Amino acid sequence: MDYQIARRNMVENQVRTNKVTDPLVIAAMEEVPRELFLPEGKRGIAYVDEDIPVGNGRYAMEPMVIARLMQSAEILRSDVALVIGAGYGYTGAVLSRVAETVVAVESDKEMASIAEKTFQAHSYDNVIVVEGNLAEGYAKQSPYNVIVFDGAVAEVPANILDQLSEGGRLLVVVRAPGKVGVARLYERENGVVGHRDLFDANIPYLPGFEPAESFVF
Query: Over the stretch 2-35, which tens digit does the pLDDT of each residue have?
Result: 999 999 999 999 999 999 999 999 999 999 999 9
Helix orientation angle between 23-31 and 63-73, rounded to the nearest 10 degrees: 140
Strand partners, 146: 81, 169
Residue 215 pLDDT grade (very low, low, confident, very high; cuts 50, 70, 90): very low
Average pLDDT over residues 65-72: 97
Q: pLDDT at residue 214 above 70?
A: no
Instruction: Give pLDDT tens digits for 157-192.
Output: 999 999 999 999 999 999 988 889 999 999 999 999
Average pLDDT over residues 44-52: 94
Exposure on the CB side of residue 151, measured as CA atoms within 13 A? 25
d(CA 151, CA 108): 15
Query: What pLDDT was estimated at residue 179?
Result: 87
Please list, residue by residue across 16-26, b when 16 or more beta carbons sit within 10 angstroms of its beta carbon and e when fewer do: eeeebebebbb
The CATH architecture of the domain made up of 3-200 is: 3-Layer(aba) Sandwich (3.40)
For the chain, which residues make up each domain, given as ranges?
3-200
Residues 43, 35 contacting (CB under 8 angstroms) = yes
Query: What pLDDT was estimated at residue 10?
Result: 96
